[in-house]
Structure 1
Amino acid sequence: MIDVEALLRPTGGIALVGDLRFTASEHRAFARAAERGLVLRVRAGVYAMPELHDDLLRAARVGGRVAGLSALEHHGLWVPPRATATLHVEVGDSMRIRRTAGGSSVSVHWMPATTRPRFTVAPLDAVLAGAATELPRPHAVAVLDSVLRRTPLTALDLRFLSQHWRPGARAAAALADGRAESGTESIIRVVLRGAGIHATPQARLPISDLARADLLIGDRLVIECDSEAHHSDPASRRADLERDALLMSLGFIVLRIDYQRAVRHPEQVVAEVAAIVQRGDHLSGWRGPSPEAGRVAPMPPRVNP
């Protein structure tokens, strides 16, 4: 019995039979495996493992691989809003496309027939170059921050990759910071920077050894950025409120910004922060002891009555 999984594993789980160089008997065995449900025949001559993600199967039915913004999730990266509404598929220019096979919303992009991999997902470097070019800068930086946070790529690697990107994409890469822990945090940091306000990511706070502020402006303004995936259950929310109260009791100002505000109304966030900064409330006013501190003032001369 032919081991279809062993044959498809090196190609990511999807392959064109012609690329596998089957003999006639192996081809028949593969067809029988498809009849038994051990492997899917996604289109003429193309087979896939049944457990693959639906995006990969849809792209293969169209004739290619998941690419562009659609590939971000498959590389484990932050995904901007509405990026999943359209499936982006790269197809070799020698392949006959079946656009309707991918569903109602598919965008096809052509690539040279010799490009590999032919199916599955476009390589990370190509995906990053496209995202950094196409997305608004705050969202592009959020993607690149997630690269430094979730993949083995370092800031030096990213700088090397971005050398041949377009100027706007290179500028986004220069702003990437692996300390950022969420897309919400990255977006707010970048829009504040655009307004001339510097925010330090993951700054230490004096409430415990591990306590960090998502963003710290000056030495007093703490911005906490809540992603969609976190801080939504009641227990986490109570913990957030208790932490915020403790920080405020120590003299900090705490602003909590959720994902929806960050992506839909970043200008409101900038206006609120700018008002605090313009008043100087982001600074505690403590500048250390004055030169006179610790000195004993001389006693005034005693006057006899």
Structure 2
Amino acid sequence: MDARIQSLLVRGSGLVTRRDMLRAAPAWTIQTAQRAGRLIRLLPGVYGDAALICCTNADLPTLARVERNVARRAALAYAGGCGALSRLTALDMWGLRRQPPGEPVYLDLPRGSGLRDRPHLVVAHRSDFAIAPPQVVTRGGVPVTRLDRTLVDCWPVLPPVDRSSLLIRAVNDRLTTPQRLTAALAEVPRMPDRAALSDVLDRLAAGCRSPLEIWGHDHVFTGPGMPTFTRQKRVRVGVRTIYLDMFAETERVDIELDGATSHSDPAEREIDLRRDALLATMGILVVRFSHRRLTADPAQVRQETLAILANRARPAPVIK
């Protein structure tokens, strides 16, 4: 390979643009390196060292045959400084969902850029898009769309089973807030299943912090007779801070919803017992419903909850 092209590849960690090569060497040196199998074309105007190929399946697009970080850098080089990693690729960069090998690189560009989809690369054009905060931040040294917009844009392309859990995780990990997500959704007036996303954001804004809490909110703990529960109520007991799933302030009842895998560990069960005892010192009654009971018999759970709340609202009986 021509020494000038080799030097550019070393400088670019295996990648180089055609424009940069033509500044340093004549066009025939590029053709010679390609014919010799030393240089590969990853995208229009973007080339790489053939040694970057890590998949031997020649039926795949060239961009899918290199390591994912190389493919992402190539996509950004294709954008010429005007693009940012987005959607499922950005979600990976934010550490919320790892992209499997078969998924393409997603790239957002300003409307009118003229660039389009390529094999293993999906391009979206956005109006008023700028490669600068607040629309774009730097993660791992590369431009990435901001998290709240990323989550909203990912909603239609994610498997339905993953959609709500990723939003909940991002909020629980304090990476974003329901308010920011709602504002991001307002930026996208048309999208598939928009109403479903809006419903999930409403539940998050109401304080639901798990798929089970959302299910309970929709099927059990709202409606006639139910109080307006304070979700994730912060309570100080001595030096300890405790967050209550669903707190009925007047009745001083905390409803805890235990997930499908909760309390399989005796140590975890002991922690919950001590927590409940601490809350009892403050006059707070903890009532726990398992995932199985809540989903298999919601009517009975609702009836028991109403009975407990009604009993707590009455003066305590005199025990003789």
Q: With a CA cutoff of 8 Å and minimum separation of 6, indicate the structure with the bigger relative contact order.
A: 1
Match of residue 35 from structure 2:
none
CA RMSD, Structure 1 to Structure 2 (Å): 5.1
Q: CA deviation at 1:201?
A: 1.3
State the Cα deviation string for residues 255-278 of structure 1 (Å, max 9, x = none): 3244x438xx52524532433314
Q: CA deviation at 1:240?
A: 0.9
Match of residue 256 from structure 1:
288
Q: Is 1:45 the counterpart of 2:62 in the alignment?
A: yes
Letter in structure 2 aligned against 1:277: L
| Number of residue-to-residue matches in the alignment | 227
2:204 aligned counterpart, secondary structure:
coil
Match of residue 21 from structure 1:
46
Counterpart of 1:149 (choices 172, 175, 183) is 172
Change (3 A) 1:5 1:272: farther
Q: CA deviation at 1:238?
A: 1.0
User: CA–CA distance in 2 between the matches of 1:148 and 1:243?
Assistant: 24
Counterpart of 1:201 (choices 219, 227, 231) is 231
State the Cα deviation string for residues 33-68 of structure 1 (Å, max 9, x = none): 43xxxx44663412333799xxxxxxxxxxxx9978
Contact 1:148 1:154 in 2 (8 A): yes
User: CA–CA distance in 2 between the matches of 1:4 and 1:234?
Assistant: 56
Match of residue 12 from structure 1:
none
Match of residue 154 from structure 2:
127
Match of residue 33 from structure 2:
none
Q: What TM-score comes out, normalization by structure 1 length?
A: 0.52
Question: What residue ranges of structure 2 are gaps of 5+ in the alignment?
Answer: 1-5, 16-39, 71-84, 107-115, 126-144, 316-320
Change (3 A) 1:168 1:21: closer
1:153 aligned counterpart, secondary structure:
coil
Letter in structure 1 aligned against 2:255: I
Letter in structure 1 aligned against 2:245: D
Contact 2:117 2:123 in 1 (8 A): no
Q: CA deviation at 1:126?
A: 1.5
Counterpart of 1:213 (choices 235, 238, 244) is 244
User: CA–CA distance in 1 between the matches of 2:92 and 2:311?
Assistant: 37
Contact 1:41 1:48 in 2 (8 A): no
User: CA–CA distance in 2 between the matches of 1:282 and 1:75?
Assistant: 47
Match of residue 31 from structure 1:
50
Q: CA deviation at 1:285?
A: 4.2
Change (3 A) 1:285 1:51: farther
Counterpart of 2:183 (choices 156, 160, 166) is 160
Q: CA deviation at 1:210?
A: 0.7
Contact 1:16 1:45 in 2 (8 A): yes
Q: CA deviation at 1:284?
A: 4.4
User: CA–CA distance in 1 between the matches of 2:42 and 2:223?
Assistant: 55
Q: Is 1:271 the counterpart of 2:303 in the alignment?
A: no
Match of residue 266 from structure 2:
234
Q: What TM-score comes out, normalization by structure 2 length?
A: 0.50
Question: What residue ranges of structure 1 are gaps of 5+ in the alignment?
Answer: 9-14, 53-64, 79-85, 98-110, 287-305
Letter in structure 2 aligned against 1:48: V
Q: Is 1:115 the counterpart of 2:124 in the alignment?
A: yes
User: CA–CA distance in 1 between the matches of 2:12 and 2:173?
Assistant: 28
Match of residue 191 from structure 1:
219
Contact 2:229 2:248 in 1 (8 A): yes
1:210 aligned counterpart, secondary structure:
strand
Match of residue 199 from structure 2:
171
